[in-house]
Structure 1
């Protein structure tokens, strides 16, 4: 049974905080020497209608070192309503003007972000309002000591009455959600980790102070979809943490970024349990170090202890397509010394708060708990918070994340092992007698294995990201369309397999091209069959008939254009003539590139715009931007054919000069013909059109093209075209952070280096 409510004497520090008070000071009060301070509450409720609901709220106060050596403060609020039965998550993130100004100043001095991404982010935060989905705090935030109150205006406040009871109020300004509840402590506060210190979290090694009130009774009302419900029963958890040095904006963001995992659990045997791991991580080298670990175990009678031998291990992960953050969504928590062996499972995966205040977002969600504690079976519920490192010194980690998620989606459609169910998923509904006699292993080797071999290479799957980014830029969740990642990748992979046969390519994505492993006929057939996966995916998605029909039409048009472009690329008789005409050749090369590469990328934007219900001007501008992006990518690909495609570790991914060996007319070649003197231009033209096979002759052609400035001219023209398209598109999009990623994707496509090429 829980302990009786902890009451407070008249005046003074409430009894539930008395053991933590230093000289009569109120532990809940703000600390004016802290660079970071937050007050946090989570609740698990059951409404009068019997509906389960969980809510969290966190009030942040951030200290900034000013020019006179003093400290000024900015404020942010994060909250969410989590509905486990309907799997709906309604987040709220608000910032005040001072915090938005602080972010601008830090970005102004920043050197941690990739330069082009930093430029896009600076532009994003230059407006008067914060980027969506962040909202401005209404009113002037105030933090009072007597009586204790953290008042951030109508969107949220947390106060305490003379009896030690807290009152939490929340109101979402854009959605009909609210909360007004009183929280009565039933356990005394306890220092996390025994001494209440989180060491080494700051840039200079400074730490934080941290205590918890692990169980409070909740009563009041909660509003969901505009309907107010009485809280029939509810329990809450309260944290207060403060410390670190005030922020110095001139230092910018740090490469050595803090990240953490935390959980707070209520078990049905009356115990409360918390563990947290605090780290600093450097995205440049993909390395990190744990700076501290804390734990807290509170018994039903309020006695507090720690778990010294705990482990908190992820079991399953989920990738947010909106932020490209990957979070655990299932964990195993063990502490053998206390007989603790628990599994924590997210009520549902999509419980992410997206906010510019932590770069892109963090995961804060309800979890269900089962297992053993003290050697006895227990169940329970709780919250888990995951804040990963998110500064991007390069954009390719985002591409890597999307690539990993794309391959996971492909594996659902193209499993590694053969089976009757795999065959049926590939072919669609077929007669049972036919399914029973089909040689499933043979069919898998013929259709799935060659595709799996090619998908498993080092490609970045940026086309899949493009489709996702369009949806998110329009304010539409891309999560229901996650299977489209695989469909887009398989379409592209199938075309690559066909191209590799036609071009006699040796390598693809850092491994032998599929036809060199499985044979040309098998590779052609398997690559072509991969086109039809889009049909399987579209049939499974919940779409209106109009959206499904339009997507099919866009897809068919895309395939027609791509094959027309490939046909022209193969024949190349359009480039024949007595001598090179750079102007005419340039127009024709760009036309082939548009058909083969740019228009298929444009089609992805058109599909995203259709599903995201873009307006006519938005759709046209999105399509034009992605066509320019696709064209720029193809030109950059031609450039890297001359340099040789290598991955970050230096391994060769594609032979240099392959286009010259095949006699292909590329845009860098056209630019070289413009720049070279007449005799040199004719020499180069004759050599390339003769399809040289001798390595020395190929290298001589490469030197002629690269030595005259042709690569720089080709890329600058591609970038100028992309810039013009962006100038039209950018004002038409709502200011979501993914817009900065969209802009950076264009930079990536045109100016990527050898490590990013894929």
Structure 2
């Protein structure tokens, strides 16, 4: 049996009524999948006219998070599309009386009366003759263009050729041409826009599946489950699912259908959840099919404000009436793509973080012995394993305090930063998926110990771990968690020894820097407080606090992102630039935390009504933060004395909140925000100069703005 392949070709055309054909914008995207191995080749070409319309749609999209919108527009300057899309410079030619579309020398599709001819001449070469076996079918097709808060969807015109015999030749890169044959389907949509040129903040998003199947008994099925949803919550708000069945003799029937996802996969690139197996049921036709994708790696980047979709080959088996049927075909999945809330988008990675963290913290009995071996190193080398009683006890004393926070995820933006940086450096993060758990576990360990040292009662809206499990056990569990980067790094694919050594060095450097910053933070800055109060010169005090922030938060993130950059094969200049930027991001976020403490740290879940930490907790404990240091330079001498006195001895919650109000009124918070923004902006420019425009470059830019602005936005909202 020869090799099997699946080819998906999309041609996009976007114009405006009344414009000349020359102003239309075209895009071409194809995906070739080798069914035996799952290997894919994807290419996307975009004309400048189409890219201008994409930018215009983003610019006028009020439903999109402002940071993401602004970062996209700042990154995708001019008419050059973002990678992986390539610029299609030459015009597209069409015929007036029949389908004849020629996209430069890249692609040609022609209606030859009784058949169609398709040619692709690029990294692959395709020459196919497609002969319709059944006549075209007019199909109901929904899209999201009119969703403005009511869950409505607009209808496009769609003609569907359900089954075509296909013969021709295929040439893969570096190989000779081979003869191919098979089945195909062809759909032409027109009418409404494939996206809205403007959207309000009330706009709903749209999710849809499209399952096109050729059954072995001659039936063809086009299933189109779809739904409107709230992009900020991913909640489904309404559904309209239909299916078209074309019998062997060409008879057409349309029915309601239902879809039930059985298994799915989350893309580390987009954090979207895609079905990999599901059941399509058409009750009126007594048809039930289980549909499985051929490979879990079928996500594509689309040249539109929709960013990503899922498209690729699928296989089906089930029953039609009393008869068993099988089939082959194609599955497309359009997820909710609107990033209404960038923080919500980043938190989606928490599911993947918990999955990877389960390698050492399973949270269930399923893999307890293996996980404990990875966590403790006992039994990994073939030596004596732990007895059953010790295994259970270790799960209680080493795992439970850490899971207490891991299961109550925070913003998880550090893990997101690591993955986004790899994507920005044009590296597929999927083979290195286990790495995404490292920042969150190390951060969790530092939070647990920080809460012990600060005697903090709350963390993320629930009792701090040491309040739940006791100080000695919690302290030991958190210290053990610092070593978990070792078993996680061991799970990475085969790496050269020098690369693996570099990763270990960077992780250890992150830990050393974090502990140095924590040491300075615990020691405090009260020896510099007297000079600041007496002279009003707070610069030495400010420098001390900045150093703590850089060591505690900036340097650990920098080293971990540099480890990710090393995995991508980036050169040293780029590793350094990426590291410096994310050091600034981490430091900036710590400044935001100082500001947040004045009001009470906001919960990751915005629907929560209570703060995740006690308001003004740092002031209660007499801790000198960056807003405090800035305030000392701005307050009157008497107010400086009052604040300094409270800092030396600690104070009550009521007095601490009153002092927090004075600090905000002094302009100290404004000064902190300005310092934070400038830090991120300065570090971005060298990195910007080294990298081409990509979506993840824009998202990393938005992450810097999030780190430096999110607390000021929260203050404005309240």
* 1:369 alignment partner in structure 2: 316
Q: Residue 62 of structure 2 contacts residue 198 of structure 2 at CA under 8 Å; is this kept in 1?
A: no
* 2:117 alignment partner in structure 1: 167
Q: Residue 55 of structure 1 contacts residue 79 of structure 1 at CA under 8 Å; is this kept in 2?
A: yes
Q: Shift of residue 641 of structure 1?
A: 0.5
The one-character-per-residue Cα deviations of 1:650-694 (angstroms, maximum 9, x if unpaired) are: 2221111111122211111101011112221122112112122x2
* 1:317 alignment partner in structure 2: 264
Q: Do residues 269 (structure 1) and 217 (structure 2) align?
A: yes
Q: Residue 171 and residue 401 in structure 1: after superposition, are their counterparts in 2 closer, same or farther (change >3 A)?
A: farther
The one-character-per-residue Cα deviations of 1:556-613 (angstroms, maximum 9, x if unpaired) are: 1111111111111112266456442511111111111111111001112211221112
Determine the C-alpha separation between the residues in 1 that align with 2:193 and 2:412: 41
* 1:43 alignment partner in structure 2: none
Determine the C-alpha separation between the residues in 1 that align with 2:566 and 2:388: 42
Given candidates 243, 249, 259, the residue that maps to 1:295 is 243
Determine the C-alpha separation between the residues in 2 that align with 1:634 and 1:200: 39
Q: Residue 387 and residue 589 in structure 1: after superposition, are their counterparts in 2 closer, same or farther (change >3 A)?
A: same
Q: Shift of residue 337 of structure 1?
A: 3.8
Q: How many residues align?
A: 699
* 2:539 alignment partner in structure 1: 583
Q: Shift of residue 629 of structure 1?
A: 0.6
Q: Shift of residue 357 of structure 1?
A: 1.1
Q: Residue 436 and residue 442 in structure 1: after superposition, are their counterparts in 2 closer, same or farther (change >3 A)?
A: closer
Secondary structure of 2:309's partner?
A: strand
Given candidates 24, 30, 39, the residue that maps to 1:79 is 30
Q: Shift of residue 725 of structure 1?
A: 0.9
Report which stretch shifted further, 605-614 or 70-79: 70-79
Q: Shift of residue 248 of structure 1?
A: 7.6
Q: Shift of residue 115 of structure 1?
A: 2.3
* 1:547 alignment partner in structure 2: 499
1:245-256 correspondence to structure 2 within 5 Å? 249=197, 255-256=203-204
Q: Do residues 684 (structure 1) and 636 (structure 2) align?
A: no
Given candidates 681, 690, 709, the residue that maps to 1:723 is 681
The one-character-per-residue Cα deviations of 1:296-317 (angstroms, maximum 9, x if unpaired) are: 1122333222333x21122222
* 2:134 alignment partner in structure 1: 187
Determine the C-alpha separation between the residues in 1 that align with 2:36 and 2:260: 26
Determine the C-alpha separation between the residues in 2 that align with 1:662 and 1:480: 44
Q: Residue 248 and residue 225 in structure 1: after superposition, are their counterparts in 2 closer, same or farther (change >3 A)?
A: closer
* 1:207 alignment partner in structure 2: 155
Q: What are structure 2's unaligned runs of at least 5 residues?
A: none
* 1:112 alignment partner in structure 2: 63
Given candidates 93, 100, 103, the residue that maps to 2:44 is 93
* 1:705 alignment partner in structure 2: 663
Q: Residue 486 and residue 199 in structure 1: after superposition, are their counterparts in 2 closer, same or farther (change >3 A)?
A: closer
Given candidates 355, 363, 367, the residue that maps to 2:302 is 355
Q: What are structure 1's unaligned runs of at least 5 residues?
A: 1-48
Q: Shift of residue 93 of structure 1?
A: 1.8
Report which stretch shifted further, 151-160 or 461-470: 151-160
Determine the C-alpha separation between the residues in 1 that align with 2:626 and 2:124: 56
Q: Residue 73 of structure 1 contacts residue 98 of structure 1 at CA under 8 Å; is this kept in 2?
A: yes
Determine the C-alpha separation between the residues in 2 that align with 1:200 and 1:464: 32
* 2:287 alignment partner in structure 1: 340
Q: Residue 178 of structure 1 contacts residue 223 of structure 1 at CA under 8 Å; is this kept in 2?
A: yes
Determine the C-alpha separation between the residues in 1 that align with 2:143 and 2:676: 50
* 2:705 alignment partner in structure 1: 747
1:36-75 correspondence to structure 2 within 5 Å? 50-65=2-17, 72-75=23-26
Q: Residue 402 of structure 1 contacts residue 460 of structure 1 at CA under 8 Å; is this kept in 2?
A: no
Determine the C-alpha separation between the residues in 2 that align with 1:127 and 1:591: 40
Q: Residue 565 and residue 200 in structure 1: after superposition, are their counterparts in 2 closer, same or farther (change >3 A)?
A: closer
Report which stretch shifted further, 321-330 or 422-431: 422-431
Q: Do residues 641 (structure 1) and 597 (structure 2) align?
A: yes
Determine the C-alpha separation between the residues in 1 that align with 2:474 and 2:38: 42
* 1:383 alignment partner in structure 2: 330
Report which stretch shifted further, 77-86 or 239-248: 239-248
Determine the C-alpha separation between the residues in 1 that align with 2:236 and 2:159: 26
Q: Residue 199 and residue 320 in structure 1: after superposition, are their counterparts in 2 closer, same or farther (change >3 A)?
A: closer
* 2:386 alignment partner in structure 1: 435
The one-character-per-residue Cα deviations of 1:544-566 (angstroms, maximum 9, x if unpaired) are: 21211100001111111111111
Q: Shift of residue 644 of structure 1?
A: 0.8
Q: Residue 340 of structure 1 contacts residue 375 of structure 1 at CA under 8 Å; is this kept in 2?
A: no
Determine the C-alpha separation between the residues in 1 that align with 2:462 and 2:127: 59
Q: Residue 645 of structure 1 contacts residue 754 of structure 1 at CA under 8 Å; is this kept in 2?
A: no
Q: Residue 457 of structure 1 contacts residue 508 of structure 1 at CA under 8 Å; is this kept in 2?
A: no
* 1:283 alignment partner in structure 2: 231
Q: Residue 96 and residue 129 in structure 1: after superposition, are their counterparts in 2 closer, same or farther (change >3 A)?
A: same
Secondary structure of 1:296's partner?
A: strand
Given candidates 356, 370, 375, the residue that maps to 1:426 is 375
Determine the C-alpha separation between the residues in 2 that align with 1:150 and 1:76: 12
Determine the C-alpha separation between the residues in 2 that align with 1:577 and 1:198: 65
- TM-score, normalisation: structure 2: 0.92
* 1:667 alignment partner in structure 2: 626
Determine the C-alpha separation between the residues in 2 that align with 1:380 and 1:70: 40
The one-character-per-residue Cα deviations of 1:172-197 (angstroms, maximum 9, x if unpaired) are: 4xxx32322111112222233xxx46
Q: Residue 198 of structure 1 contacts residue 207 of structure 1 at CA under 8 Å; is this kept in 2?
A: yes
* 1:632 alignment partner in structure 2: 588
Given candidates 535, 552, 557, the residue that maps to 1:596 is 552
The one-character-per-residue Cα deviations of 1:122-144 (angstroms, maximum 9, x if unpaired) are: 12222331111111224211232
Q: Residue 518 and residue 316 in structure 1: after superposition, are their counterparts in 2 closer, same or farther (change >3 A)?
A: same
Q: Residue 69 and residue 612 in structure 1: after superposition, are their counterparts in 2 closer, same or farther (change >3 A)?
A: closer
Determine the C-alpha separation between the residues in 2 that align with 1:190 and 1:441: 62
Report which stretch shifted further, 240-249 or 50-59: 240-249
Q: Shift of residue 278 of structure 1?
A: 3.5
Secondary structure of 2:157's partner?
A: strand
Secondary structure of 1:99's partner?
A: helix
Given candidates 608, 620, 632, the residue that maps to 2:564 is 608
Determine the C-alpha separation between the residues in 1 that align with 2:507 and 2:712: 31
Q: Residue 620 and residue 632 in structure 1: after superposition, are their counterparts in 2 closer, same or farther (change >3 A)?
A: same
Q: Residue 58 of structure 2 contacts residue 305 of structure 2 at CA under 8 Å; is this kept in 1?
A: no
* 1:472 alignment partner in structure 2: 423
* 1:568 alignment partner in structure 2: 520
Q: Residue 286 of structure 2 contacts residue 321 of structure 2 at CA under 8 Å; is this kept in 1?
A: yes
Determine the C-alpha separation between the residues in 1 that align with 2:567 and 2:714: 29
Determine the C-alpha separation between the residues in 2 that align with 1:266 and 1:550: 51
Q: Shift of residue 262 of structure 1?
A: 0.8
Q: Shift of residue 206 of structure 1?
A: 4.1
Give the CA RMSD over aligned residues: 2.5
Q: Shift of residue 347 of structure 1?
A: 1.5
1:123-202 correspondence to structure 2 within 5 Å? 123-162=74-113, 164-172=114-122, 176-192=123-139, 196=140, 198=142, 202=146
Q: Residue 291 and residue 372 in structure 1: after superposition, are their counterparts in 2 closer, same or farther (change >3 A)?
A: closer
